Protein backbone atom coordinates (compact mmCIF):
# COMPACT_ATOMS: atom_id res chain seq x y z
CA UNK A 1 0.00 0.00 0.00
CA UNK A 2 2.79 2.38 0.97
CA UNK A 3 4.65 1.57 -2.27
CA UNK A 4 1.56 2.44 -4.34
CA UNK A 5 1.26 5.84 -2.66
CA UNK A 6 4.94 6.60 -3.23
CA UNK A 7 4.68 5.46 -6.86
CA UNK A 8 1.57 7.56 -7.52
CA UNK A 9 3.13 10.60 -5.82
CA UNK A 10 6.29 10.17 -7.87
CA UNK A 11 4.36 9.94 -11.13
CA UNK A 12 2.26 12.99 -10.22
CA UNK A 13 5.43 14.97 -9.48
CA UNK A 14 6.95 13.98 -12.82
CA UNK A 15 3.77 15.02 -14.67
CA UNK A 16 3.74 18.41 -12.91
CA UNK A 17 7.42 18.98 -13.70
CA UNK A 18 6.85 18.06 -17.37
CA UNK A 19 3.89 20.46 -17.60
CA UNK A 20 6.01 23.27 -16.15
CA UNK A 21 8.89 22.55 -18.54
CA UNK A 22 6.54 22.40 -21.53
CA UNK A 23 4.82 25.65 -20.56
CA UNK A 24 8.20 27.38 -20.29
CA UNK A 25 9.48 26.05 -23.59
CA UNK A 26 10.73 29.11 -25.50
CA UNK A 27 9.28 28.24 -28.95
CA UNK A 28 5.80 28.09 -27.43
CA UNK A 29 5.98 31.67 -26.16
CA UNK A 30 4.06 34.31 -28.02
CA UNK A 31 6.01 37.15 -29.57
CA UNK A 32 5.60 40.30 -27.50
CA UNK A 33 3.79 43.13 -29.28
CA UNK A 34 4.97 46.72 -28.95
CA UNK A 35 3.64 50.11 -30.00
CA UNK A 36 6.41 50.28 -32.63
CA UNK A 37 4.90 47.36 -34.54
CA UNK A 38 3.50 48.48 -37.87
CA UNK A 39 0.47 47.04 -39.59
CA UNK A 40 1.67 44.01 -41.57
CA UNK A 41 1.34 44.03 -45.32
CA UNK A 42 -1.81 41.90 -45.50
CA UNK A 43 -4.23 40.97 -48.24
CA UNK A 44 -7.62 39.47 -47.35
CA UNK A 45 -10.61 38.53 -49.48
CA UNK A 46 -13.87 40.36 -48.78
CA UNK A 47 -17.28 38.71 -49.00
CA UNK A 48 -17.92 40.24 -52.45
CA UNK A 49 -14.81 38.52 -53.82
CA UNK A 50 -12.64 41.63 -53.96
CA UNK A 51 -9.49 42.01 -51.94
CA UNK A 52 -8.58 44.44 -49.20
CA UNK A 53 -4.99 45.09 -48.27
CA UNK A 54 -2.91 47.30 -46.05
CA UNK A 55 -2.65 50.05 -48.66
CA UNK A 56 -6.48 50.25 -48.80
CA UNK A 57 -6.73 51.30 -45.17
CA UNK A 58 -7.84 54.92 -44.75
CA UNK A 59 -4.91 56.89 -43.28
CA UNK A 60 -7.33 59.31 -41.64
CA UNK A 61 -8.96 56.66 -39.44
CA UNK A 62 -8.03 54.16 -36.77
CA UNK A 63 -8.13 50.54 -37.91
CA UNK A 64 -9.60 47.77 -35.79
CA UNK A 65 -8.38 44.44 -37.10
CA UNK A 66 -10.52 41.86 -35.32
CA UNK A 67 -9.91 38.13 -35.79
CA UNK A 68 -12.97 36.01 -35.02
CA UNK A 69 -14.65 32.65 -35.49
CA UNK A 70 -18.40 32.37 -36.11
CA UNK A 71 -18.74 29.49 -33.64
CA UNK A 72 -17.01 31.38 -30.84
CA UNK A 73 -19.55 32.53 -28.23
CA UNK A 74 -17.31 35.41 -27.17
CA UNK A 75 -16.96 36.53 -30.80
CA UNK A 76 -20.72 36.50 -31.27
CA UNK A 77 -21.20 38.57 -28.12
CA UNK A 78 -18.51 41.05 -29.20
CA UNK A 79 -19.92 41.50 -32.71
CA UNK A 80 -23.38 42.07 -31.25
CA UNK A 81 -21.90 44.71 -28.91
CA UNK A 82 -19.98 46.21 -31.83
CA UNK A 83 -23.08 46.69 -33.97
CA UNK A 84 -25.08 48.01 -30.99
CA UNK A 85 -22.37 50.58 -30.17
CA UNK A 86 -21.04 51.45 -33.62
CA UNK A 87 -21.53 55.20 -33.04
CA UNK A 88 -18.79 55.07 -30.39
CA UNK A 89 -16.34 54.04 -33.12
CA UNK A 90 -17.06 56.72 -35.75
CA UNK A 91 -13.34 57.40 -36.32
CA UNK A 92 -12.61 53.74 -37.07
CA UNK A 93 -12.57 51.36 -39.97
CA UNK A 94 -13.25 47.84 -38.77
CA UNK A 95 -12.00 44.72 -40.48
CA UNK A 96 -13.44 41.45 -39.14
CA UNK A 97 -11.29 38.54 -40.34
CA UNK A 98 -11.73 34.79 -40.08
CA UNK A 99 -10.03 31.73 -41.54
CA UNK A 100 -13.33 29.87 -41.84
CA UNK A 101 -14.75 29.10 -45.28
CA UNK A 102 -16.40 32.02 -47.07
CA UNK A 103 -19.95 30.58 -46.85
CA UNK A 104 -19.74 30.31 -43.05
CA UNK A 105 -18.41 33.84 -42.78
CA UNK A 106 -21.09 35.14 -45.17
CA UNK A 107 -23.84 33.57 -43.01
CA UNK A 108 -22.30 35.19 -39.94
CA UNK A 109 -22.18 38.54 -41.73
CA UNK A 110 -25.83 38.21 -42.76
CA UNK A 111 -26.90 37.16 -39.26
CA UNK A 112 -25.60 40.45 -37.85
CA UNK A 113 -26.41 42.56 -40.95
CA UNK A 114 -22.76 43.63 -41.09
CA UNK A 115 -23.11 44.77 -44.70
CA UNK A 116 -25.37 47.58 -43.39
CA UNK A 117 -22.41 49.21 -41.64
CA UNK A 118 -20.13 51.09 -44.07
CA UNK A 119 -17.25 51.11 -41.59
CA UNK A 120 -17.27 47.30 -41.14
CA UNK A 121 -15.64 44.98 -43.68
CA UNK A 122 -15.79 41.21 -43.29
CA UNK A 123 -12.99 39.17 -44.81
CA UNK A 124 -11.39 35.78 -44.81
CA UNK A 125 -7.89 34.53 -45.18
CA UNK A 126 -5.93 31.33 -44.69
CA UNK A 127 -5.22 29.87 -41.30
CA UNK A 128 -1.51 30.28 -42.12
CA UNK A 129 -1.96 34.06 -42.44
CA UNK A 130 -3.84 34.29 -39.16
CA UNK A 131 -1.38 32.28 -37.13
CA UNK A 132 1.76 33.07 -39.13
CA UNK A 133 1.64 36.72 -40.16
CA UNK A 134 -0.32 37.93 -37.13
CA UNK A 135 1.01 35.43 -34.56
CA UNK A 136 -2.44 34.89 -33.11
CA UNK A 137 -2.87 32.28 -30.42
CA UNK A 138 -6.41 33.11 -29.27
CA UNK A 139 -9.71 33.85 -30.94
CA UNK A 140 -10.94 36.53 -30.70
CA UNK A 141 -7.91 38.80 -31.05
CA UNK A 142 -8.02 42.52 -31.66
CA UNK A 143 -5.35 44.79 -33.12
CA UNK A 144 -5.91 48.55 -32.88
CA UNK A 145 -3.85 50.65 -35.30
CA UNK A 146 -3.34 54.41 -35.32
CA UNK A 147 -4.08 56.18 -38.65
CA UNK A 148 -0.30 56.18 -39.29
CA UNK A 149 -0.50 52.34 -39.14
CA UNK A 150 1.37 52.00 -35.84
CA UNK A 151 -0.12 49.47 -33.46
CA UNK A 152 -1.76 51.00 -30.41
CA UNK A 153 -3.09 47.84 -28.80
CA UNK A 154 -2.86 44.09 -29.20
CA UNK A 155 -5.59 42.31 -27.23
CA UNK A 156 -6.01 38.54 -27.39
CA UNK A 157 -9.25 37.29 -25.86
CA UNK A 158 -12.41 39.14 -24.96
CA UNK A 159 -12.61 42.93 -25.20
CA UNK A 160 -15.42 45.39 -24.57
CA UNK A 161 -16.39 48.37 -26.70
CA UNK A 162 -15.57 50.64 -23.79
CA UNK A 163 -12.04 49.20 -23.63
CA UNK A 164 -11.63 49.91 -27.35
CA UNK A 165 -12.79 53.48 -26.88
CA UNK A 166 -10.15 53.87 -24.14
CA UNK A 167 -7.46 52.52 -26.49
CA UNK A 168 -8.36 55.25 -28.99
CA UNK A 169 -7.76 58.09 -26.54
Per-residue pLDDT of the chain (169 residues; tens, 9 = 90+): 666 664 555 444 554 454 444 444 433 344 455 555 889 999 999 998 999 999 999 889 999 999 999 999 999 999 999 999 999 998 899 999 999 999 999 999 999 999 999 999 999 999 888 888 888 888 999 999 999 999 999 999 999 999 999 998 8
Q: Decide: 44 and 123 in contact? Cβ < 8 Å.
A: yes
E strands in 27-140 = 43-46, 51-53, 62-67, 92-98, 120-124
d(CA 152, CA 144): 5
Report pLDDT for 21. 42
Report pLDDT for 80. 96
Report pLDDT for 130. 83
- The CA–CA distances, whole Å, from 6 to 13, 15, 20, 130 equal 10, 14, 21, 46
Report pLDDT for 8. 58
Topology classification of domain 36-167: Glutaredoxin (3.40.30)
DSSP β-bridge partners for residue 151 = 145
Amino acid sequence: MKKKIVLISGLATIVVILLIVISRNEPLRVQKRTAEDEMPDFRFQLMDGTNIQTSDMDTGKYTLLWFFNSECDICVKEVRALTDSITLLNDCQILLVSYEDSLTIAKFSEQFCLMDFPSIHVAYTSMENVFGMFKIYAIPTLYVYHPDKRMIKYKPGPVTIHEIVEYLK
